[in-house]
């Protein structure tokens, strides 16, 4: 295989990488490995290097990013295979008693730098965006009392979310918090009004599929002051969505129902996998819901010792994994926690 690709093509890149891996496996000496590295990974005209140069010819941004991630993964796979084969050949030479099996003049392989997990990156970005709007990050217990997790956020006894099929119960009075909303009530009791806070942290639910997890990261936000209206929430969420997904991504607000807000809304963002055309991830709708919110219910304000006749506020909550899936075009969120190094090494 000597012809260079005319355009960035995923199938061709895979074929080139397979050929490279076959040659690496068949190599019997380190000199052959050096030749393979130059032929496939050479800086100027390496067969895999050329694919990197062709990525810029892809017009669609999402396709260009996906192609870049794939080519980077293939290059890393071939690089690792070469180094592993080199180590194997060196070990074999040592076993045969060859005096020159280790060449001390040969430069060491470059150190592989680590990078943040996609969830950690999004988590940090969310905190940074809301810090720009003056929100303070607060925290609270993950093992929460039933009173704070349900009752004080307007979920009385008998509410469906209290079922054991949905919630992890520690004992009769405590649960693994199902959301970070109880910290909002604690913050109201401690700080009163006005205040602007976000609550980043873990939450737990009995749920597991492509977009839901038994343990997940959530960010709740709350703003309380005199004269706060739904339009303030709309502007805040639009600023957040544009900051994370860019000005070209379509968003929409639609009415919904939550016990702790009235009125309530949900924010949807166009699906990054299909570009809004409809796919398995978005269930054919072209949209993915990323957060819910609304005006804080007067009962919740009272439960937090805030007078609803003097103050109003809005609250919202988002799943960080869902944001990461949309931001990076991840079709199945379970990949985030499968600990497959081939996935987490992608940038």
Which of 63, 95, 127 corresponds to the end of one domain? Answer: 95
Say which residues have a Cβ less than 8 Å from residue 37's Cβ, sequence separation at least 6.
Answer: 82
- Which CATH number do you get for residue 300? 3.30.930.10
48, part of any domain:
yes
Structure confidence at residue 289 (pLDDT):
84
Structure confidence at residue 271 (pLDDT):
77
Q: Is residue 79 domain-shared with residue 222, that is, in the same domain?
A: no
Q: Is residue 152 domain-shared with residue 48, that is, in the same domain?
A: no
Q: Is residue 139 domain-shared with residue 70, that is, in the same domain?
A: no
Top mean-pLDDT range of 37-41, 288-292, 308-312, 323-327: 308-312
Taking CA atoms, 327 is separated from 90, 122, 201, 243, 324, in Å, by 43, 8, 19, 11, 5
Q: Is residue 19 domain-shared with residue 166, that is, in the same domain?
A: no
Top-confidence residue, 42 or 326: 42
Q: Is residue 340 domain-shared with residue 291, that is, in the same domain?
A: yes
Considering only 8-17, 33-42, 176-185, 288-297, which range has the smallest mean pLDDT? Answer: 8-17
103, part of any domain:
no
Please say if the pLDDT value at position 307 is more than 90.
yes
109, part of any domain:
no
Please say if the pLDDT value at position 347 is more than 90.
no
Structure confidence at residue 9 (pLDDT):
65
Top-confidence residue, 154 or 232: 232
Which of 44, 61, 95 corresponds to the end of one domain? Answer: 95
> 272: exposed, middle or buried (C-beta count within 10 Å: 0-12, 13-18, 19+)?
buried
Instruction: Residue count of the chain, please give it.
Output: 347
Structure confidence at residue 132 (pLDDT):
92
pLDDT in tens, 43-63: 777 888 888 777 777 878 888
* Percent of the chain predicted with pLDDT > 70: 91
Q: From 281, 239, 245, 242, select the one nearest 61 (Cα to Cα).
A: 245
Please give the tally of structural domains in the chain: 2
Structural domain including 73 reads 10-95
Residue 217 backbone phi and psi in degrees, to 5: -100, 140
110, part of any domain:
no
Q: What is the mean pLDDT of the chain?
A: 83
257, part of any domain:
yes
pLDDT in tens, 158-201: 777 777 677 888 888 899 998 899 999 999 999 999 999 999 99
Query: For tokens 């807000």, what's the residue?
Result: 261
Q: Is residue 233 domain-shared with residue 158, that is, in the same domain?
A: yes
Q: Is residue 204 domain-shared with residue 298, that is, in the same domain?
A: yes
pLDDT in tens, 103-122: 778 888 877 777 788 888 88
Q: How confident is the model at residue 4 (pLDDT cuts 50, 70, 90)?
A: very low
107, part of any domain:
no
């Amino acid at each position: 295989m000597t012809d260079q690709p005319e355009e960035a093509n995923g199938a061709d890149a895979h074929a080139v990488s397979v050929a490279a891996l076959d040659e690496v496996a068949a190599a019997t000496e380190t000199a052959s490995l050096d030749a393979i590295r130059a032929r496939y990974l050479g800086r100027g005209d390496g067969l895999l290097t050329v694919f990197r140069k062709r990525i810029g010819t892809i017009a669609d941004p999402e396709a260009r990013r996906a192609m870049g991630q794939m080519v980077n993964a293939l290059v890393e796979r071939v690089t690792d295979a070469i180094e592993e084969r080199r180590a194997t050949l060196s070990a074999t030479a040592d076993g045969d008693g060859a005096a020159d099996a280790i060449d001390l003049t040969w430069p060491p392989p470059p150190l592989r730098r680590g990078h943040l997990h996609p969830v950690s990156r999004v988590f940090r970005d969310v905190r940074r965006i809301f810090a720009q709007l003056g929100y303070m990050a607060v925290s609270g217990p993950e093992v929460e009392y039933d009173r704070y997790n349900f009752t004080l956020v307007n979920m009385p006894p008998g509410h469906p979310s209290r079922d054991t099929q949905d919630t992890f119960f520690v004992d009769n009075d405590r649960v693994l918090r199902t959301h970070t909303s109880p910290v909002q009530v604690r913050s109201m009791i401690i700080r009163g009004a006005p205040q602007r806070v976000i609550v980043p942290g873990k939450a737990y639910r009995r749920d597991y599929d492509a977009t839901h997890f038994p343990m997940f990261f959530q960010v709740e936000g709350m703003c309380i002051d005199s004269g706060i209206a739904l339009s303030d929430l709309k502007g805040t969420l639009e600023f957040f969505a544009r900051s994370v997904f860019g000005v070209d991504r379509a968003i929409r607000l639609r009415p919904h129902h939550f016990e702790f807000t009235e009125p309530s809304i949900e924010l949807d963002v166009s699906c990054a996998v299909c570009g809004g055309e409809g796919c398995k991830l978005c269930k054919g709708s072209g949209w993915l819901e990323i957060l819910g919110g609304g005006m804080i219910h007067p009962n919740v304000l009272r439960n937090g010792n805030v007078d609803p006749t003097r103050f109003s506020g809005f609250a919202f909550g988002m799943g960080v994994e869902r944001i990461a899936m949309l931001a990076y075009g991840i079709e199945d969120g379970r990949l985030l926690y499968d600990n497959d190094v081939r996935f987490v090494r992608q940038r």
